[in-house]
Chains A and B, each alone.
Chain A
Amino acid sequence: MKLLLGLILGGAFGAALQMSGASSYTKMTNALRLRDFTIIKLILMAIGVGMIGVNLLDALGLANIRIKDLYVLGILGAGLIFGVGLAVSGYCPGTALAAAAEGKPDAWATVLGGLLGAAVFAFLFPELEEHLLSIGSYGKVTLHGELGIAGLWLAVPLGGLLIWLAFRLPLKEVDR
């Protein structure tokens, strides 16, 4: 039952990515060049809706919250490496899978490169953990946790702001 739920939710996610152009190299590259805001508006909308919904669930005691640890140096370095990978390939780990399924061979190369990168990380992990991942480590930090208030108090204005921004930004669409 859980497997079927995973397949259905993942399938809907993949279809949404594919149908809105998020799995397009051109769209992603032009988003990063600030020439086509489709993907930026989509992400702002997704996070805005998700933020309000997830925190509403949490207020009702229905959310399975999973906060990721904050380790400042490691997270910064990781984000920088990931960003270069995103710029060069034009895909992220999820959209690469969607683009590969559309038949694009360069996305297959990204998935294979990803499998290798993940494997290399897995074997280097003990080294990295000892030296880098412990620097600036604060555990599971959230904005609302720091303020000592319920997430919903921040999620409604912040999520609303993201959705407003999503509508406010121009589309500047380049569909080539």
Chain B
Amino acid sequence: MARARTLGPIPLSWWGGGLAIGLILIIATALAEPIGVSTQYVVLDGVLLHALAPATVAQSPYLEKTAKGWTLETYEFFFVLGIPLGAFLAALATRRLSTRVVPAEWAGRFGPSPAKRLAWSFAGGFLLLFGARFGGGCTSGHMISGISQLAVSSMLFTAALFAAAMLTVRYLYSHPNRPNLPNREGRA
């Protein structure tokens, strides 16, 4: 699956993207509230569970408190809904839509198996949101919004996040001949 990349170049520079995100944060803070994403995963869970299995929802006061009124018609949810919409339109306009399952970088280290990549990205997503809800925010809410507001909790979260992420990536990528991981030819 590690086919050659035929996508166009990245259309926005780091400073253009950073400036845009900083300005979005400033506008959001003035007109509504600082940006945040991870809470809305809980809200969507709550609304879905409330519709499908109302009895289980009653066991989580956290869910009831977070998904206020069991509705998705909030500013916060629509902000998060906007992210895939904006990303889709941007990718469409710049011809960067992609259906690759296994990133080339991953395939070069862990082999071309789509099932393996999907399983690990699912596990990664589980840890991301478990951690984000545990800490009360993610890259948006803690790192970008929180540090901008000079919040100490957000600085601590960010420091722990980068330390763990850099060590994990180093562990994952720095041992090409580790026996129980696949080698560069993709053998298990």
Residues of A with Cβ closer than 8 Å to B? Answer: 2-26, 29-30, 32-34, 37-39, 41-51, 53-55, 57, 62-72, 74-107, 109-123, 125-126, 128, 138, 140-146, 151, 154-155, 158, 166-167, 171, 175-176
Contact = CB atoms under 8 A, between A and B. Distances in A.
Contacts of B142: 68
Given A6-B75, A81-B127, A42 B18 contact: yes
Nearest to A56: B26
B45 interface: yes
In this complex, the interface size class of chain B, counting residues with CB under 8 Å from chain A, is 35 or more
A102 B126 contact: no
B87 A85 contact: no
B45 A75 contact: no
A46 to B, nearest CB: 4
A106 B75 contact: no
A114 B126 contact: yes
Contacts, number: 522
B164 A80 contact: yes
A93 B18 contact: no
A13 B87 CA distance: 8
Contacts of B5: 176
A120 to B, nearest CB: 6
Given A7-B78, A11-B89, A101-B84, A79 B18 contact: no
Contacts of A48: 18, 22
B148 interface: yes
Contacts of B91: 18, 101-103
A3 B66 CA distance: 18
Contacts of B134: 74, 77-78, 81, 121, 128
Given A79-B135, A91-B128, A6 B76 contact: yes
B104 A117 contact: no
B147 A47 contact: yes
B18 A43 contact: yes
B114 to A, nearest CB: 8
Nearest to A11: B86
Contacts of B104: 26, 176
A87 B165 contact: yes
Contacts of A5: 31-32, 75
Contacts of B89: 11, 15
A136 B66 CA distance: 24
B111 interface: no
B39 to A, nearest CB: 9
Interface string B122-146: 1111111111111111111111111
**Counting chain B CB atoms within 10 Å of each CB, which of A37, A109, A142 scores highest?**
A109
Contacts of B33: 64, 66
B51 interface: no
Given A68-B136, A109-B122, 16 more contacts: A7-B78, A51-B148, A53-B22, A54-B149, A55-B148, A67-B146, A68-B142, A78-B136, A83-B131, A83-B166, A88-B121, A95-B139, A96-B128, A113-B127, A115-B129, A141-B151
B30 A63 contact: yes
A106 B88 contact: no
A89 B33 CA distance: 28
A88 B166 CA distance: 11
A11 B93 CA distance: 14
B180 interface: no
